[in-house]
Amino acid sequence: MDKHPPWIITLLLVATVNSTPAMSDSSFNVIASFSVIEDLVERVAGDTIRVNTIVPADKDVHRWELTPPNVLAVEEADIVFYNGYGLEPWMRHVEAMSDDTLTLIALAENADYAPLPISTGQYKDNPDPHMWMDPKGAAAYIDVIAHTLSQHYPEKAEAFNTRAAKARDALAMLDQQLKERLDGIPQTNRVLYTSEAGMAYFARAYNFEYAAIWGVNHETLGSAHAMETMSKRLIEKRPPALFHESTVPSIHMDALARDAELTLSGPLYVDALSASDGPAYNYPAMLQHNANLLHEALGGAREE
């Protein structure tokens, strides 16, 4: 890549001076936009491909700004896997850096999985980007990942496809485990209200009534109008608990919970995995943590 906007050149210079090149036995360089995508890509790629991640675990993918190491990693990459449907606004800068040698793959936009509309906020009725919150959506991502890697590295296609098949089987088993866990919640309590509208696919998959204060995190968080709308909803419907997410401040849901005298539970993990020592250290653990939290907060039946 020979031409860059000035801000990219500055980042590259800083990265070259301050960063240490990553050591890897692989000549294949793949980037994942954030930690959930990283986990899914690694399930197909295996140990032979280095997967760099732009947005670290525990950070908000929507509001990220590229760092010098991010820019250097993009410079060295063959493929960038990202979600798409506007989840990563900063991808426009990656696109500005790219040339014909870099492949950009928007997993959600290429997946065989129909999007839901965003239910509220500034981006209402746009495609909801959070497809991975349903294991069936994640399985559709796996298909795109395996196809893309096989095209770029055909000598490893058989291994990619074998791992992809195992990943799909594991996701089907995870889906069944989540259903069994969540089936213990009484129907009258199956009400899921969050800060960001990031769990619509999860709610549809596991039969929850769902609403959120705002649509996606890169719009205005907790505007007066959005807070009033949710407050009125809570007068009509009093769920056992409200929920906040790991990558957004809990102050908005806390204020609503206090006002309505409801329990506030969390965090749910949606836009990021946790650190490796946290409860959402990989994709299955993330959804299992969320299911357990909902089960406990919404009055799920206790095991005998």
Q: What is the CATH number of the domain that holds 220?
A: 3.40.50.1980
Q: Is residue 64 in a domain?
A: yes
Nearest-angstrom CA–CA distance, 201 and 252: 22
68 and 155 inside one domain:
yes
pLDDT at position 98 is: 87
Residues 101 and 189 in one domain: no
Element (H, E) at 39: helix 35-45
Is 168 found in the same domain as 187?
no
Q: What angle do CA 37, 250, 202 make, to 5 degrees?
A: 45
Q: Give the number of other CB atoms < 10 A from CB of residue 31.
A: 25
pLDDT digits (tens, 9 = 90+) for 16-28: 333 333 333 357 8
Q: Do 226 and 122 reside in the same domain of the chain?
A: no
303 pLDDT tier (thresholds 50, 70, 90): low
Indicate whether 10 belongs to any domain. no
Query: Has residue 172 been placed in a domain?
Result: yes
Domain boundary among 141, 160, 177: 177
Query: Do residues 138 and 47 share a domain?
Result: yes
Residues 164 and 221 in one domain: no
Q: Is the pLDDT of residue 280 over 70?
A: yes
185 and 123 part of one domain: no
Do 62 and 159 fall within a single domain?
Answer: yes
pLDDT for the residue 257 = 97
Domain boundary among 177, 208, 228: 177
Residue 246 lies inside a defined structural domain of this protein: yes
Residue 33's SS3 state is strand
Report the domain count for the chain: 2
The pLDDT confidence band at residue 220, using thresholds 50, 70 and 90, is: confident
Q: Side-chain half-sphere of 175: how many Cα atoms within 13 Å?
A: 20
Parent domain of 193: 181-298
Q: What is the pTM of this model?
A: 0.90
Give the separation between CA 272 and CA 132, rounded to whole angstroms. Answer: 11
